[in-house]
Amino acid sequence: MTKPRVVETAEGIQGDFDVRVYDRMMRRMRDKGWLQTREILKAGIDRGLALEVGPGPAYLGLEWLKKSTGTSLKAVEISPAMIEIARRNAREYAFSDRVEYVKGDAGKIPFDDNLFDGAFTNGSLHEWADPKTVFNEIHRVLKPGGRYCVSDLRRDMHPLVKWFMRTVTKPKEIRPGLRSSIAAAYLVEEIEALLQECLPGGYRVEKKAMGLVITGTKAG
């Protein structure tokens, strides 16, 4: 029997130390080619203007921009310290003209209705105070026919997978954060129940070794 969720935060990753350590971890993951960029392209998010929710240090969105053509990105992030790092990283990629980071809460996305061709987010679902509202918000800002891809950890990953993740997660200062993120993550069954309550359908939830991936299309 999997233990109940333990809420990690409703304010995102805020402290300067945590943000710097998180940036180092994600930079290393980027360098090893471990980001979810392929999942996003595979989900059909490969053109036009996309939304990223909770970009953190922003490597995922920046890699998506690098691997797609003629695309641009707007991102909503709750943590000002993360936005600072994201902007620095965008300058390093020379993508400052293709991406905009806006401070805001995913529960009230600060963009117009029907604006985006696609939307994606990785690793932030377990931090949202009210996921149903966020899924509704993602739907609101997508154009009809727009695709979305939401990936995150899952709480019931196999103990060996958990051990493996802990071992490869560096720097080691981030490991307590990994443990609390897994404890706050959802099960596939919980997400399916939640989506049934807030979306009209048109989505798919996949169980992966390390997490879960939700893909879908806004009805046209």
Chain residues that interact with ligand SAM, rule: CB under 6 A: 12-13, 26, 53-56, 60, 76-79, 82, 105-107, 122-124, 127-128
Closest distance of CB 47 from ligand SAM, Å:
21
Gyration radius from the chain CA atoms: 16
User: CA nearest 12: which of 70, 49, 50, 56?
Assistant: 56
Structure tokens at 202: 């048109």
Cβ proximity to ligand SAM: between 42 and 219 the closer is 42
Cβ proximity to ligand SAM: between 24 and 202 the closer is 24
Torsional class of 145: left (φ above 0), alpha (ψ -120 to 50), beta (otherwise): left
Cβ proximity to ligand SAM: between 174 and 187 the closer is 174
Distances (CA, A) of 100 to 52, 54, 55, 62, 214: 10, 13, 11, 11, 24
Closest distance of CB 159 from ligand SAM, Å:
22
Cβ proximity to ligand SAM: between 5 and 202 the closer is 5
Closest distance of CB 80 from ligand SAM, Å:
9
Closest distance of CB 137 from ligand SAM, Å:
10
SS3 59: helix
Query: Could you tell me if 72 and 139 are in contact, meaning their C-beta atoms sit under 8 angstroms apart?
Result: no
Cβ proximity to ligand SAM: between 104 and 202 the closer is 104
Longest pairwise C-alpha distance within the chain: 49
Helices (H), 44-127: 59-67, 80-92
Query: Could you tell me if 153 and 181 are in contact, meaning their C-beta atoms sit under 8 angstroms apart?
Result: yes
Cβ proximity to ligand SAM: between 18 and 202 the closer is 18
